[in-house]
């Protein structure tokens, strides 16, 4: 089975609705593929992409030079080497300081409500791109159960979940008895003739074809040489990024890779020694590989999180939630390289230039994916929405 | 009308009357009455719809012996399985979660709902109790309804209308409804009934919390403790202290700063008023706001309250709604046109007559001949609809196959335990508070104590599952995420098929060491095949099937059956 058909099969649902699709014009697509890295818990901006000189504020974090015209924290030595491809946005600001609400806002651009679920950016991209009608071009690696998924869009735009990148696509190991069992299944299924039975027959046939196809290998990172696997780091983030790279090669549009453990209320610095190393190993290897395979010009990597952390170090050597100022990073397709955008004050506690909201960032990413961020879309109940809630494209960071 | 209904019909006659109304309608549409389903099909369907799971081999055989559909319905409605299935029904409407907003544990609220179902508390009374609840999650678990949307009063009001009245007023939260008559002013007037509901604890309580924080900060600084400050915050939350629901009679609701209509000014204080049904207005007694709204909502004269629950229960039984969709059955103050108006209005009267006793009402539905008909593969009102099991039905059926008795394990009711665990805040110092929190965390984890497992998964009812792998299974099969009311779906996708084909659960069932596998050791080949067929799809194998399965091993038969249409569909 061709990949396209496989993806289509994955997407098709019994009630697949393809409402209001509006595929982008190819010329407008700077980022053909997007790898969206989400750091669950809130990454300390001060100890990573927005380090300061004030010892009271930075603790043990030191500045290092990069191949861009800005400095970052010393825990990111490998990323420093690829920063000429990146724009570090230091002026992200929000008002939401609780995890779930802030994560929801990051992924959907909307405030969480009790009466509707907004689609996450990945579902928007896959839904509107709609390259071959109803493609779930959205894979979610290490996802969480509170992920808003496809929101009010058709369920067929829900992300395909990869629980652990090491295991690949769940339940996809082929049994040599498959053929015999399928034959018996056909015998017993003859008894029921109804439209819903036909639908299931098709699903089973598609599934069997997929299980026998080469596409399955896209999800199998054990096919990579072990040296390469180690270069990404053995963490779930690192292995997830390696999987993401394979999926980009297979031309899947939006891959979200989550990483947990960033909520450093206690022992911020020792915890970050591990977390940031995972990020540094994984993302640097990813950028290098995409570049050497000629895919960095068409792939955008986003590093996002729900908020920053307090400049004040608390009694437990930790940092608490801080939505007022934090960092977001864009690397690769469509963005200027080697650039820091926006600025916080000397204590990283306040944005002083070029403040942007998460909506602005999502609008920029969506724009690079070739989507029309000004267009209004209607939810099934008729409520009007824009895909990044009126966010403004940050034009000065576009290449 | 009410008088006539009461005097002329008993429960059985209500079922007959429902059949009569449907028959009339079909005749008028020149459609035929559907055929009576076979007994095997009926038993399986009645188990799935009423107790949420397939029957075991033994249960299926037992019915064959006494062969009385009415008796079966009665037995099922009075069994624990009915309570569990109804719990799932409520859980999807009330959006029950293990953690409420603000991270408070929702366990006591969940247990409370379970208790109400067990008592078969009249539905109108239940709604009233929910809408008037005050206290903490431990002193009065029903406050969980408000705490589910803590800090989001306007959303809570929208959910109240949607869940209990089938009215979608959420648009009017921000502007006049674009294609319905609801105005933003009316939305605020409705919401004003709940302005006095205070979900954050009062000053006195917060002062105590600050005292505990200071103590914890001091011990952290002195390195006597680590992370105590953080944990005191957790204690404050999880102990229910932070979110005591009570009345603050001084609180008022003002129009938003961007209010743009002529009937009010931004910032203007709005007085409570109901726009539809009986007109109820705010009086001087502000402590009456909550109860008078609740009374209005459950009043027999409310234009949609009764129709809403009727529609939802009908949908549960027959697989289609009388008014589609469940969450939006009204156009302003009138019911939308239904699939059969006469039937709907009749059932609304019946619901009132049985005083919102849902067991009685469900008995009436499940005892209709229409329910006992063959399913409709299309959607022509010719029998219950042929549909895929819900995620919960599928899970509970699989667990039935695995354990045999799915309702043997029940979680402990811990409402009292938690209530005594968290004393008055003024009596505690930070060390004591932290000890209580530590105990709480330990006890909280014991929820699943003694629960059977299949591999790494709890082999228990869907109604007891709120997280973990089993929960993921349900989400994969379209179980509601319980973020929105009735947010589940029965759509198919390939991930589900991969799960049925290859998951650990399927392998557990295919193992000869499984319950069924062991049972077959004593049976002859023919009996064994019969046993497995009836266990999975509720019928004996046909001649052709017996032939085709000749020499096929247990594991392969199980694989085929669990993947068959007849297993996952309600036919």
What distance in Å separates the CA atoms of residue A204 and residue A185, rounded to the nearest whole number? 10
Chain B nearest-CA residue for A113 = B155
Give the tokens for residue A375. 């267009």
Give B246: exposed, middle or buried? Use CB within 10 Å, 0-12, 13-18, 19+.
middle
Nearest CA-CA partner of B506 in B496, B519, B493, B494: B496
- Paired with A326 in beta bridges are A92
pLDDT at B508: 95
Give the tokens for residue B70. 């009415």
Query: B281 vs B529, which has greater pLDDT?
Result: B529
Residue of A117, A194, A200 lying closest to B492 (CB–CB): A200
- Mean pLDDT across chain A, nearest whole number? 89
pLDDT at B277: 83
Residue B545 has pLDDT above 80, yes or no: yes
pLDDT at B90: 98
Query: A284 vs B172, which has greater pLDDT?
Result: A284
Q: Any chain A CB within 8 A of the CB of B494?
A: yes
Contact between residue B473 and residue B500 where contact means Cβ atoms under 8 Å apart = no
Contact between residue A290 and residue A88 where contact means Cβ atoms under 8 Å apart = no
Chain mean position to CA B424: 33
Chain B partners of A197 at a C-beta cutoff of 8 Å?
Answer: 565, 569
pTM of the model: 0.87
What distance in Å separates the CA atoms of residue A37 and residue A237, rounded to the nearest whole number? 9
What distance in Å separates the CA atoms of residue A383 and residue A390, rounded to the nearest whole number? 15
Residue ranges of B 497-536 with Cβ closer than 8 A to chain A:
497-499, 501-503
Contact between residue B290 and residue B193 where contact means Cβ atoms under 8 Å apart = yes
pLDDT at B316: 97
What does DSSP say about strands A321-322 and A71-73: parallel, antiparallel, or unpaired?
unpaired
Question: Does A114 contact B498 at a Cβ distance shorter than 8 Å?
Answer: no
pLDDT at A132: 53
3-state DSSP call for residue A143?
A: coil
Question: Does B156 contact A114 at a Cβ distance shorter than 8 Å?
Answer: yes
Residue A135 has pLDDT above 50, yes or no: no
Based on its alpha-carbon atoms, the radius of gyration of chain B, rounded to whole angstroms, reads: 26
Chain B partners of A180 at a C-beta cutoff of 8 Å?
Answer: 556
Q: What is the pLDDT of residues B413-457, one digit of tens each?
A: 999 999 999 999 999 999 999 999 999 999 999 999 999 999 889
Mutation pick from B501, B537, B545 vs chain A, by most beta carbons of A within 10 Å, is B501
Question: Does A194 contact B560 at a Cβ distance shorter than 8 Å?
Answer: no
Chain A partners of B182 at a C-beta cutoff of 8 Å?
Answer: none
What distance in Å separates the CA atoms of residue B11 and residue B17, rounded to the nearest whole number? 10
Chain A partners of B150 at a C-beta cutoff of 8 Å?
Answer: none
Query: Per-residue b/e over A18-38, b at no fewer than 16 CB within 10 Å?
Result: eeeeeebeeeebbbbbbbbbb
What distance in Å separates the CA atoms of residue B271 and residue A102, rounded to the nearest whole number? 33
Mutation pick from A116, A315, A319, A380 vs chain B, by most beta carbons of B within 10 Å, is A315
What's the mean pLDDT in A133-160? 80
What distance in Å separates the CA atoms of residue A104 and residue A306, rounded to the nearest whole number? 9
pLDDT at B186: 93
Nearest CA-CA partner of B174 in B162, B150, B191: B191
Chain B partners of A177 at a C-beta cutoff of 8 Å?
Answer: 556, 559
Question: How many residue contacts between A and B have a Cβ separation below 8 Å?
Answer: 155
Nearest CA-CA partner of A255 in A242, A272, A270: A242
3-state DSSP call for residue B515?
A: helix
The domain limits of chain B are: 2-78+304-386, 122-200+246-298, 395-423+453-570
Q: 10 Å Cβ neighbour count for B463?
A: 27
Residue B295 has pLDDT above 80, yes or no: yes
Model confidence band, residue A136 (pLDDT cutoffs 50, 70, 90): low
Q: What is the pLDDT of residues A61-71, one digit of tens each?
A: 999 999 999 99
Chain A partners of B547 at a C-beta cutoff of 8 Å?
Answer: none
- Mean pLDDT across chain B, nearest whole number? 93
Model confidence band, residue A215 (pLDDT cutoffs 50, 70, 90): confident
pLDDT at B495: 86
Chain B nearest-CA residue for A181 = B560
Q: How far is B122 from chain A (nearest CA, A)?
A: 27
3-state DSSP call for residue A92?
A: strand
Q: What is the pLDDT of residues B121-175, one digit of tens each?
A: 999 999 999 999 999 999 999 999 999 998 888 889 999 999 999 998 887 887 7
Helix (H) and strand (E) counts in chain A:
11, 16
3-state DSSP call for residue B537?
A: helix
Contact between residue A156 and residue A16 where contact means Cβ atoms under 8 Å apart = yes
What distance in Å separates the CA atoms of residue B145 and residue B164, rounded to the nearest whole number? 12
What distance in Å separates the CA atoms of residue B101 and residue B336, rounded to the nearest whole number? 33
Contact between residue B139 and residue B107 where contact means Cβ atoms under 8 Å apart = no
pLDDT at A5: 46
What's the mean pLDDT in B194-201? 90
3-state DSSP call for residue A36?
A: strand
Residue of B221, B229, B491 lying closest to A14 (CB–CB): B491
Tokens 């309250």 found at: B305
Domains and their CATH numbers in chain A: 3-168+220-397 (3.40.720.10)
Residues 6+ apart with CB under 8 A from B358: B86, B120, B122, B123, B309, B313
Residue A16 has pLDDT above 80, yes or no: no
Chain A partners of B157 at a C-beta cutoff of 8 Å?
Answer: none
Residue of B491, B545, B571 lying closest to A187 (CB–CB): B545
| Alpha-carbon distances of B62 from B33, B66, B69, B491, B526, rounded to whole Å | 29, 7, 12, 34, 20
Q: How far is A199 from chain B (nearest CA, A)?
A: 8
Residue ranges of B 247-266 with Cβ closer than 8 A to chain A:
none
Residue ranges of B 74-133 with Cβ closer than 8 A to chain A:
95
Give the tokens for residue B137. 């999650």
What does DSSP say about strands A254-259 and A138-141: parallel, antiparallel, or unpaired?
parallel
Tokens 């997280």 found at: B467
Q: 10 Å Cβ neighbour count for B89?
A: 20
Q: How far is B284 from chain A (nearest CA, A)?
A: 31
Helix-helix angle B494-502:A3-11, to 10 degrees: 90
pLDDT at A11: 46
Give the tokens for residue B114. 């379970």
Chain A nearest-CA residue for B155 = A114
Q: How far is A397 from chain B (nearest CA, A)?
A: 33
Chain B partners of A114 at a C-beta cutoff of 8 Å?
Answer: 95, 149, 152, 155-156, 158-159, 483-484
Residue of B155, B471, B563 lying closest to A113 (CB–CB): B155
pLDDT at B10: 64
Chain B nearest-CA residue for A318 = B227
Question: Does A145 contact B475 at a Cβ distance shorter than 8 Å?
Answer: yes
What distance in Å separates the CA atoms of residue B139 and residue B121, rounded to the nearest whole number? 20
Residue of B467, B498, B548 lying closest to A207 (CB–CB): B498
Residue of A11, A114, A117 lying closest to B158 (CB–CB): A114
Rounded to 5 degrees, φ, ψ at A26 are -50, -40
Question: Does B159 contact A115 at a Cβ distance shorter than 8 Å?
Answer: yes
Q: How far is B343 from chain A (nearest CA, A)?
A: 27
Chain A partners of B191 at a C-beta cutoff of 8 Å?
Answer: none
Question: Does A173 contact B549 at a Cβ distance shorter than 8 Å?
Answer: no
Residue of B498, B565, B566 lying closest to A172 (CB–CB): B498
pLDDT at B7: 41
Question: Does A171 contact B502 at a Cβ distance shorter than 8 Å?
Answer: yes
Q: Calculate the CA dihedral of residues B188, B192, B194, B199 and round it to 10 degrees.
A: 80
Question: Does B501 contact A169 at a Cβ distance shorter than 8 Å?
Answer: no
Q: What is the pLDDT of residues A150-205, one digit of tens each?
A: 999 987 788 888 989 998 888 888 888 999 999 999 999 999 999 999 989 988 98
Chain B partners of A203 at a C-beta cutoff of 8 Å?
Answer: 492-494, 497
pLDDT at B112: 98
Chain A nearest-CA residue for B177 = A383
Chain A nearest-CA residue for B216 = A315
Residue ranges of B 535-554 with Cβ closer than 8 A to chain A:
542, 544-545, 548-549, 552
Residues 6+ apart with CB under 8 A from B269: B252, B253, B254
Residue ranges of B 166-185 with Cβ closer than 8 A to chain A:
168, 170-171, 173, 178-179
Question: How long a stretch of residues is chain B?
Answer: 571
Question: Does A189 contact B387 at a Cβ distance shorter than 8 Å?
Answer: no
- H or E element in which residue B270 lies: strand B269-270
Chain A nearest-CA residue for B94 = A114
pLDDT at B6: 44
Q: What is the pLDDT of residues A317-368, one digit of tens each?
A: 899 999 999 999 999 999 999 999 999 999 999 999 999 999 999 999 999 9
Q: Can you list the pairs that B433-442 forms with residues at least 24 positions away whose Cβ atoms lie under 8 Å?
A: B433/B212, B433/B232, B433/B235, B433/B239, B434/B216, B434/B225, B434/B228, B434/B231, B434/B232, B434/B235, B436/B235, B436/B239, B437/B231, B437/B232, B437/B234, B437/B235, B437/B238, B437/B239, B440/B235, B440/B238, B440/B239
Distance between the two ends of chain B, CA-based, in angstroms? Answer: 36
Q: What is the full DSSP assignment across B440-462?
A: HHHHHHGGGTT--EETTEE-S-G
Question: Which of A99-113, B95-109, B114-128 has the highest average model confidence (pLDDT)?
Answer: B114-128
Model confidence band, residue B178 (pLDDT cutoffs 50, 70, 90): low
Q: What is the pLDDT of residues A259-273, one digit of tens each?
A: 999 999 889 999 999
Residue A18 has pLDDT above 90, yes or no: no
Query: ipTM more than 0.95?
Result: no
């Amino acid at each position: 089975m061709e990949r396209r058909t496989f993806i289509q099969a994955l997407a098709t649902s019994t009630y697949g609705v393809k409402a209001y699709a509006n595929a982008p014009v190819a010329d407008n697509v700077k980022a053909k593929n997007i790898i969206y890295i989400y750091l669950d818990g809130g990454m300390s901006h001060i100890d990573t992409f927005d380090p300061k000189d004030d010892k009271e504020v930075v603790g043990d974090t030191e500045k290092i030079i990069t191949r861009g015209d800005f400095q970052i924290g010393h825990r990111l030595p490998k990323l420093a080497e690829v920063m000429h491809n990146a724009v570090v946005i230091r002026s992200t600001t929000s008002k939401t300081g609780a995890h779930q609400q802030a994560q929801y806002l990051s992924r959907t651009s909307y405030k969480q409500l009790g009466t509707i679920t907004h689609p996450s950016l990945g579902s928007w991209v896959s839904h509107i791109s709609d390259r071959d009608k109803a493609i779930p071009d959205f894979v979610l690696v290490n996802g969480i159960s509170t992920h808003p998924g496809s929101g009010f869009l058709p369920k067929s735009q829900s992300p395909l979940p990869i629980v652990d990148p090491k295991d690949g696509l769940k339940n996809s190991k082929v049994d040599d008895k498959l053929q015999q069992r399928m034959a018996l299944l056909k015998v017993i299924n003859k008894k029921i003739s109804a439209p819903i039975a036909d639908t299931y027959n098709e699903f089973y046939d598609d599934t069997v074809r997929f299980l026998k196809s080469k596409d399955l290998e896209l999800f199998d990172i054990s096919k990579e040489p072990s040296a390469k696997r180690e270069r990404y780091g053995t963490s779930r983030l690192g292995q997830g990024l390696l999987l993401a790279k394979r999926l980009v090669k297979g031309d899947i549009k939006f891959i979200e890779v989550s990483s947990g453990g960033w909520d450093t209320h206690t022992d911020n610095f020792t915890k970050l020694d591990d977390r940031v190393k995972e990020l540094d190993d994984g993302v640097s290897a990813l950028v290098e590989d995409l570049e050497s395979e000629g895919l960095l010009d068409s792939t955008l990597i986003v590093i996002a999180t729900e908020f920053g952390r307090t400049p004040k170090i608390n009694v437990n050597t930790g940092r608490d939630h801080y939505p007022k100022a934090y960092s977001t990073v864009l690397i690769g397709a469509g963005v200027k390289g080697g650039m820091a955008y926006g600025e916080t004050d000397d204590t990283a506690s306040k944005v002083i230039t070029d403040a942007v909201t998460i909506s602005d960032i999502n609008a920029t990413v969506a724009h690079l994916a070739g989507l029309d961020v000004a267009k209004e879309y209607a939810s099934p109940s008729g409520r009007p929405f824009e895909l990044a809630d009126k966010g403004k494209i940050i034009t000065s960071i576009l290449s | 009308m009410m008088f006539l209904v009461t005097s002329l019909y008993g429960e059985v006659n209500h079922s007959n009357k429902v059949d009569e109304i449907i028959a009339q309608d079909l005749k008028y549409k020149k459609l035929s009455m559907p055929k009576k389903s076979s007994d095997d099909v009926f038993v399986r369907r009645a188990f799935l719809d009423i107790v949420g799971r397939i029957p075991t081999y033994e249960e299926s055989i037992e019915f064959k012996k006494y062969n009385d559909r009415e008796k079966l319905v009665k037995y099922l409605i009075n069994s624990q399985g009915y309570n569990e299935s109804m719990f799932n029904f409520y859980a999807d409407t009330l959006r029950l979660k293990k953690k409420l907003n603000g991270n408070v544990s929702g366990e006591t609220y969940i247990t409370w709902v379970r208790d109400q179902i067990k008592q078969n508390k009249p539905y109108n009374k239940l709604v009233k109790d929910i809408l008037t609840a005050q206290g903490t999650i431990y002193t009065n678990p029903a406050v969980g309804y408000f705490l589910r949307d803590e800090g989001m009063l306007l959303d809570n009001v929208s959910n109240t209308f949607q869940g209990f009245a089938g009215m979608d007023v959420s648009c009017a939260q921000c502007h006049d409804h674009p294609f319905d008559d609801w105005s933003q002013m009316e939305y605020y007037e409705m919401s004003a009934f709940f302005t006095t509901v205070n979900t954050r604890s009062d000053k006195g309580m917060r002062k105590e919390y600050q005292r505990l924080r200071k103590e914890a900060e001091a011990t952290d600084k002195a390195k006597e403790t680590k992370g105590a400050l953080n944990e005191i915050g957790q204690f404050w939350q999880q102990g229910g202290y932070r979110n005591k629901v009570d009345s603050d009679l001084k609180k008022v609701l003002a129009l938003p700063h961007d209010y743009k209509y002529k009937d009010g000014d931004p910032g203007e204080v709005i007085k409570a008023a109901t726009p539809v049904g009986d007109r109820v207005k705010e009086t001087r007694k502000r402590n009456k706001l909550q109860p008078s709204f609740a009374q209005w909502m459950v009043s027999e004269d409310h234009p949609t309250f009764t129709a809403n629950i009727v529609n939802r229960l009908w949908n549960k039984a027959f697989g289609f709604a009388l008014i589609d969709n469940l969450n939006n059955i009204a156009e302003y103050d009138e019911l939308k046109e239904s699939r059969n108006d006469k039937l709907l209005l009749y059932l609304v009267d019946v619901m009132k007559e049985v005083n919102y006793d849902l067991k009685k009402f469900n008995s009436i539905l499940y005892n209709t001949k229409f329910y006992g008909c063959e399913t409709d593969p299309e959607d022509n009102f010719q029998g219950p609809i042929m549909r895929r099991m819900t995620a919960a039905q599928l899970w509970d059926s699989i667990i039935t196959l695995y354990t045999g008795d799915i309702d043997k394990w029940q979680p402990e009711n811990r409402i009292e335990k938690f209530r005594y665990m968290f004393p008055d805040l003024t009596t505690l110092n930070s060390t004591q508070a932290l000890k209580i929190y530590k105990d709480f965390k330990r006890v909280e984890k014991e929820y699943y104590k003694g629960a059977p497992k299949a591999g790494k998964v709890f082999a228990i009812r869907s109604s007891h599952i709120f997280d973990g792998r089993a929960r993921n299974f349900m989400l994969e099969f379209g179980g509601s995420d319980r973020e929105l009311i009735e947010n589940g779906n029965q759509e198919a996708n390939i991930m589900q098929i991969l799960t049925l084909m290859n998951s650990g659960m399927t392998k557990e069932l295919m193992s000869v060491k499984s319950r069924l596998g062991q049972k077959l050791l004593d049976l002859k080949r023919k009996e064994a095949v019969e046993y497995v067929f009836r266990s999975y799809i509720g019928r004996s194998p046909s001649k052709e099937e017996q032939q085709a399965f000749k020499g096929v091993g247990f594991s392969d038969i199980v694989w085929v059956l669990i993947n068959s249409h007849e297993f996952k569909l309600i036919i």
